[in-house]
Amino acid sequence: MSQGDGGRLTTHVLDTASGKPAAGLKIALYRIGGKSPRKLKDVVTNEDGRCDAPLLQGKDFQTGQYELVFFAGDYLRGKHKKLPDPLFLDEIPIRFGMAEAKHYHVPLLISPFGYSTYRGS
């Protein structure tokens, strides 16, 4: 696993049902490897649906497999009324690999009944 000065990981979350950034959404970051995933940190999105700082950067950045778990259910319950119980979407895990020391951006677009992601820039 290599480290890189230019590597960093960022994310942001947009609520496509409201057309606004998903502020106050909790996200957990895990490194995947070994016998079980290792939690690296928990963050909460700001008013712009972004984290205040990169999730990984500099000496903390390593290539490998990671997982972001977006706690969408907690956010959706607070923002959208008349949702079913249980929710269709609650925790949304996105597992991905970072093969080089460069910028990886993993955005999430959510609504109560669907989500999408992609490798952003």
Q: In the predicted model, is pLDDT for residue 32 greater than 80?
A: yes
Q: In the predicted model, is pLDDT for residue 2 greater than 80?
A: no
Condensed to tens digits (0 to 9), the pLDDT of residues 52-99 reads 999 999 999 999 999 999 999 999 999 988 899 999 999 999 999 999
Cα atoms in the Cβ-side hemisphere of radius 13 Å centred on 114? 3
- The answer to whether the beta carbons of residues 8 and 103 sit under 8 Å apart is yes
Q: In the predicted model, is pLDDT for residue 4 greater than 50?
A: no
Band the pLDDT of 5: cuts 50, 70, 90. Answer: low
The token duo for 61 is 């950045």
The secondary element (H helix, E strand) that includes residue 79 is: helix 72-79
